């Protein structure tokens, strides 16, 4: 396939400044056949007006409600049915991308039909060599979901591409047809764990999630929901995890997770308490 088409979907909800910064980096991307679609979850901060003024060539889909991460991205994807790009990249608005981030994401999908999903290496934006994501770990016995390499400085072990257990929803790439066949995001999830659910659904069909460290972006962590840690955020995370394990864990794993869950909750509250003291 020569020069395949790519659409980058950027979801926005009252994140005008973040989204404009993200779009500025996307406009500098070194790839000839790509489009950008901003999906706006009924913002009230003038986001749409600013995007239309500063980037008149970028398409904006204005939604009539805030459908959250899963619902907003699904609606953005569904709006592409007449154009049908070869690949779709889902990208958080609180990110900045490397100008060469597209090719490493699509190349594995071009050469290996068993790969359904590719995901880049992601750094903290305020500490550009500190890893935020270098692969995903899931344990369906303990209920643990985590990023490989998080809060570690980049080194050679994070430069090896290969299969990973899940792709973060911060940024990932799929073939248009594959995302359609997997039926998109499950909108029952409350903002958290829908990305893990998608990857688990892919793996259940015996396809692969692929970590591609030659593609890099930077993430302003949690800026889009107001801060690194909060009780409301952790409540939504726990609800998302319960839904995730109810859907994907077998009965024995689910019992094990319930036994481990108090320790997971305690860990979250300790992390929250120490963060608030800083």
Q: Is the pLDDT of residue 255 over 50?
A: yes
Mean of pLDDT values over 138-156: 91
The strand ranges marked E within 3-104 are: 6-12, 34-40, 59-62, 87-92, 95-97
Domain made up of 6-277: CATH architecture: Alpha-Beta Complex (3.90)
Q: What is the pLDDT of residue 200?
A: 96
> pLDDT per residue over 39-70, tens digit each?
999 999 999 999 999 999 999 999 999 999 99
Mean of pLDDT values over 197-203: 97
Q: Is the pLDDT of residue 173 over 80?
A: yes
> pLDDT per residue over 5-20, tens digit each?
999 999 999 999 999 9
Backbone φ and ψ of 225, nearest 5°: -120, 10
Q: Is the pLDDT of residue 224 over 50?
A: no
Backbone φ and ψ of 230, nearest 5°: -155, 160
Q: Is the pLDDT of residue 278 over 60?
A: no
And the tokens for 4? Answer: 């395949």
Mean of pLDDT values over 205-213: 98
Q: Could you tell me what percent of the chain has a pLDDT over 70?
A: 90
Q: How many alpha carbons lie under 13 Å from residue 187 in its C-beta half-sphere?
A: 10
Band (pLDDT 50/70/90 cuts) for residue 240 is confident
Burial letters 118-140, b for 16+ CB under 10 A, else e: bbbbbbbbeeeebbbbbbbebeb
d(CA 142, CA 187): 25
Q: What is the pLDDT of residue 245?
A: 85
Rounded to two decimals, the pTM is: 0.90
Mean of pLDDT values over 70-86: 97
Q: Is the Cα dihedral 189, 186, 204, 6 positive or negative?
A: negative
Q: What is the pLDDT of residue 133?
A: 97
For residues 35 and 223, which has the higher predicted lDDT (pLDDT)?
A: 35
Q: Is the pLDDT of residue 225 over 70?
A: no
Q: What is the pLDDT of residue 234?
A: 67
**Which H/E stretch holds residue 108?**
helix 102-111
Q: What is the pLDDT of residue 227?
A: 46
């Amino acid at each position: 396939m020569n020069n395949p088409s790519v659409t980058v979907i950027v979801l926005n909800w009252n994140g005008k400044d973040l989204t404009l910064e993200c779009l500025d980096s996307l406009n500098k991307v070194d790839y000839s056949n790509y489009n950008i679609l901003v999906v706006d979850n009924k913002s009230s901060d003038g986001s749409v007006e600013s995007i239309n003024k500063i980037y008149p060539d970028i398409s904006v889909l204005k939604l009539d409600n805030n459908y959250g991460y899963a619902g907003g991205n699904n609606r953005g994807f569904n709006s592409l049915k007449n154009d049908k790009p070869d690949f779709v990249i889902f990208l958080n608005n609180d990110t900045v991308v490397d100008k060469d981030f597209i090719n490493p994401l699509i190349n594995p999908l071009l050469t290996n039909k068993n790969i359904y999903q590719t995901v880049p290496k992601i750094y903290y934006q305020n500490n550009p060599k500190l890893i935020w994501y270098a692969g995903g770990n899931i344990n369906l016995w303990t209920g643990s979901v985590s990023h490989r390499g998080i809060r570690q400085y980049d080194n050679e072990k994070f430069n090896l591409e290969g299969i990973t257990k899940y792709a973060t929803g911060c940024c990932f790439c799929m073939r248009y047809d594959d995302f359609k066949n997997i039926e998109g995001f499950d909108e029952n999830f409350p903002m958290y764990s829908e990305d893990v659910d998608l990857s688990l659904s892919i793996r259940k069909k015996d396809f692969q999630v692929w970590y591609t460290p030659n593609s890099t972006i930077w993430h302003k962590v949690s800026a889009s929901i107001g801060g690194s840690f909060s009780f409301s955020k952790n409540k939504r995370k726990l609800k998302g995890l319960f839904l995730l394990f109810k859907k994907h864990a077998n009965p024995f794993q689910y019992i094990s997770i319930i036994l481990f869950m108090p320790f997971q909750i305690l860990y979250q509250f300790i992390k929250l308490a120490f963060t608030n003291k800083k």
